[in-house]
Every structure is written in C-alpha cells, then in structure tokens.
C-alpha cells in the first residue's frame, strides 16, 4: 500500500511538472506572435517591413546565446535563480516593448531582453521534462512539451488580433502577456526542481561545450538537423506569399493554411514523441525524412489548395520531428545531466536552418520570379541530410552509462 501511494505521488508530481513545462514553453511562443504586431508597429513608427521584422530576426541571435549558456548559468546560480532571471527577462522585456517610445528601444527590449529569457525558458522546460520522465514515457512527455510552442502560436495569434482591436492599441496585449508570463513563471519557480539523481543516470566524466562540439556525433547530427530544416524554413518563412502565388488565393485563405500548419505541428509533435518510444529516435528520423523527401520532390506539382495543404502539412511533420527528437537524441547519446548544453547546441543548428531557409526562398523569388529553384535546392539538402544520417546511424552510440 505504501509503495502504491509513493507511485501515485510520483505520477502526480510528474503531471504537475509536465503542465508547468508546457505553460513555460507557451510563454516562449510570443516570439512568433510578433508578426501580428508588425502592421501596427509600422503604422505608428512609420518604418519599413525590413525594420519591423528586426525584433523577430534579432531575437534568433539572442536565442543562440541563451541556448549555449543556459547550462553554465544554471550551474553557477542554480535552477531557481535562473528561473527567476528568466521570469524577469521575459516579463520586463514585454513591458519595455509595450512602452517603447522609439524603434531602438522596441527592438532591444523584444529581441534581446525578452529573447534571452525566451531561450532560457525553452531549454530549461524541455530539459527538465526529459529528466523527470526518463524511463517514464519520455518521448510522449517531450512531444507534449514542445507542442506547447505551436499551441501558443495557434491560440495567441488570433487572441492578440482580437485584443489589439478591442483595446485599439497594440501595446496593451503585451502588458497582458507580461502579467500572464509573471504568473506562470512564479508558479514554476516555486514548484519546478531537478529530479533525483537516479532519474539522471551515470554520465560520462567530462562533457563540456568544447568536448561536445569536437565529438564526431555532434558534427553529424548538427549537420543533419541544419540540412533537413532548410526545406521547412523556406516554406514557413515564405508561407503566406508562397501559397498566394502558387494557388492564387486571397491573404485570408493563405493565413488559414498557416493555422493548419500550426495545428498539424501540435499533433505531429506528440505523435512523433510516442512513435520514438516504439522505434529508435534515429530510425524515426529516417522514416520521416524519407516521407519529406518525396514531398519535396513532388512539391512543384502541387497546384491546387488541397495539395498545397498536404505539402505544407508534411513540412510541419518534418520540422516537428527535428524539434521533438533533437532533445531525445541528445539525451540518448550524451545523457541528461548536461542536457541543456547538448540540446542547446543541436537547437542552435535547427535555428540556423530556420534563419537560412527563408533567405533561400527570398533569393529564389527575387532572382527567378518563383520559389521552385529554392525548393529544389532545399530538397537536395534534405536528401543529403538523410544520406548522412543513414550512413552514420551505427556510429551514433551513447557516450554515457545508464
């Protein structure tokens, strides 16, 4: 009876951890909600599109800095203090963005203050989730936690539009989100903690940033994630104009396709997490990459709305696979004790793909008048990434003992 009670307490604790990690990731999804603010910011500050997208673009740089430093800051300050810093950065970043009297302050507040907290929050939430659920449906838990980002984008984008219209101000929603973030993070600070060492396992003696970067495994996986993310980066980075041009639909319909993409991303991240528990994560990658290659090759033939939705849904599946499995692969190969370091490095490779993919699409459109050369190029990189994965799967073995 006592053992049963302990099991129930353990399950309840993990459920609370899962919910809190999910909510923390939702607060990081404000990053992609920025696109809703763009027209209003442009109108008020009389700036061009290239300037209004800077908060989002530069936030990716802050993300990389945060991804690579999360573990080391946590080691020095401890989890609770880093969560507190994360809360302060995200909440104050949103407030300062809301009250910004100038473009410079607007960009700095959202991109670097909120952005740094954004990266800390995301890496901590995913890493904690994996550590707590190691041996207890870690794949499902990871899928649920990372799906929170797409859930946030899907729900907060229309909510933000409504709030802007209701309050006749783009600044008010930012203040509301700042309060919501503060509440979520306050609960997270009081509840979240590291699991017992028996859930973490015995790690290799030395595992620092340099050691991981120099490892053969990291080079292979990082290159694979970068090459295979380029296709989705091109599609999502140019999604609305791409859909408008290919199937000749209005902006509202094209925006609906974006919502479908987000919905597919939510579902597929959870499904991929479950599948990875049945199959090896690396084998799961090969299967999804093969499907994505077929989709990329056939994409130029998608000339009507149903086919475009199919193509974009597979693109969402591809990206969801990389996002969901990258932390699981990092924990499989290097263990979970320093997961923030290893996962942060792999996440950086994915972010680089997200940054470069849209540029390939934009250059293709500017130089040739359409997106197909860029799609062909990213299809080739997808094939290349899959070939590298196929030939290196046997060498990607755990470097730690369980």
> What is the pLDDT, as a whole number, of residue 259?
84
Whether residue 96 contacts residue 293, with contact meaning beta carbons closer than 8 Å, is answered with no
d(CA 330, CA 139): 13
d(CA 356, CA 364): 12
For the chain, the first-to-last Cα distance in angstroms comes to 29
Six-digit token string for 258: 């974006």
> What is the pLDDT, as a whole number, of residue 8?
44
Long-range pairs for 40-45 at CB < 8 Å and ≥24 separation? 40/164, 40/170, 41/106, 41/170, 44/170, 45/102, 45/103, 45/106
Six-digit token string for 219: 């080079």
Angle at 138 between CA 136 and CA 143, to 5 degrees: 140
d(CA 116, CA 96): 14
Domain chopping of the chain, boundaries? 1-200, 205-402
> What is the pLDDT, as a whole number, of residue 309?
95
CATH topology (fold) of 1-200: Growth Hormone; Chain: A; (1.20.1250)
The set of residues, in sequence order, having a beta carbon less than 8 Å from that of 370 and lying 6+ positions away, is 245, 364
d(CA 194, CA 132): 8
> What is the pLDDT, as a whole number, of residue 144?
96
d(CA 72, CA 63): 15
Six-digit token string for 271: 């499904």
Six-digit token string for 378: 């990213």
Common-topology check for domains 1-200 and 205-402: yes
In the numeric block, the tokens 């120099």 are attached to: 214
Which pLDDT tens digit goes with each residue over 259-287?
A: 899 899 999 999 999 999 888 888 999 99
CATH of domain 205-402: 1.20.1250.20
pTM here is 0.86
Q: Indicate the burial class of 240 (C-beta count within 10 angstroms; 0-12, 13-18, 19 or more).
A: middle
Six-digit token string for 250: 């209005």
> What is the pLDDT, as a whole number, of residue 202?
44
> What is the pLDDT, as a whole number, of residue 207?
61
Q: What b/e string do you get for 200-219 counting C-beta neighbours within 10 Å, with b at 16 or more?
A: bbebeeebebebbeebebbe
d(CA 161, CA 138): 35
Whether residue 106 contacts residue 97, with contact meaning beta carbons closer than 8 Å, is answered with yes
Written as tens digits, the pLDDT of the chain (402 aa) is: 444 444 444 678 899 999 999 999 999 999 988 888 888 998 999 988 778 888 988 898 999 999 999 999 999 999 999 999 999 999 999 999 999 999 999 999 999 999 999 999 999 999 999 999 987 888 999 999 999 999 998 899 889 989 999 999 999 999 999 999 999 999 999 999 998 765 454 444 456 667 777 778 888 999 999 999 999 999 988 887 888 889 988 877 877 888 899 899 999 999 999 999 888 888 999 999 999 999 999 999 999 999 999 999 999 999 999 999 999 999 888 888 888 988 999 999 999 998 899 889 888 888 998 899 999 999 999 999 999 999 887 766 665 544
Q: Which phi and psi (to 5°) does residue 163 adopt? A: -65, -40
> What is the pLDDT, as a whole number, of residue 341?
87
- Map residue 401 onto helix, strand or coil: strand
């Amino acid at each position: 009876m006592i053992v049963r009670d302990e099991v129930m307490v353990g399950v309840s604790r993990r459920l609370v951890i899962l919910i809190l990690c999910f909510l923390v990731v939702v607060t990081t999804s404000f990053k992609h909600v920025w696109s809703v603010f763009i027209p209003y910011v442009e109108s008020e500050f009389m700036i061009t599109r290239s300037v209004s997208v800077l908060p989002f673009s530069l936030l990716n740089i802050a993300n990389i800095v945060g991804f690579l430093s999360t573990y080391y800051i946590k080691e020095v300050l401890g989890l609770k203090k880093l969560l507190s810093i994360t809360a302060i950065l995200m909440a104050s970043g949103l407030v300062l963005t809301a009250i910004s009297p100038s473009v410079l302050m607007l960009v700095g507040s959202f991109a670097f203050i909120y952005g740094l907290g954004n990266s800390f929050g995301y890496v901590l939430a995913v890493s904690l989730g994996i550590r707590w659920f190691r041996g207890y449906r870690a794949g499902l838990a990871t899928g649920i936690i990372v799906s929170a980002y797409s859930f946030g984008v899907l729900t907060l984008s229309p909510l933000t539009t409504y709030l802007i219209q209701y309050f006749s101000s783009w600044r008010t929603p930012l203040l509301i989100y700042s309060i919501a973030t503060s509440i979520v993070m306050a609960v997270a600070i009081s509840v979240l903690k590291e699991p017992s060492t028996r859930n973490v396992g015995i790690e290799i003696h030395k595992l620092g940033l340099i050691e991981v970067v120099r490892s053969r495994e990291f080079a292979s996986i990082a290159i694979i994630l970068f090459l295979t993310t380029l296709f989705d980066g091109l599609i999502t980075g140019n999604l609305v104009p791409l859909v408008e041009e290919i199937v000749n639909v209005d902006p509202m319909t094209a925006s609906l396709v974006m919502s479908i993409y987000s919905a597919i991303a939510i579902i597929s991240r959870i499904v991929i997490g479950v599948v990875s528990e049945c199959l090896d994560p690396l084998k799961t990658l090969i299967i999804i990459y093969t499907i994505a290659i077929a989709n990329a090759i056939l994409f130029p033939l998608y000339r009507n709305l149903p086919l475009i939705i199919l193509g974009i849904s597979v693109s969402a599946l591809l990206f969801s696979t990389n996002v969901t499995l990258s932390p699981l692969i990092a924990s499989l190969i290097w263990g979970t004790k320093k997961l923030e370091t290893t996962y942060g490095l792999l996440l950086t490779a994915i972010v680089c793909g997200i940054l470069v993919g849209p540029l390939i699409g934009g250059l293709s459109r500017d130089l040739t008048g359409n997106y197909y050369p860029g799609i062909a190029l990213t299809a080739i990189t997808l094939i290349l990434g899959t070939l590298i994965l196929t030939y290196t799967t046997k060498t990607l073995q755990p470097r730690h003992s369980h």
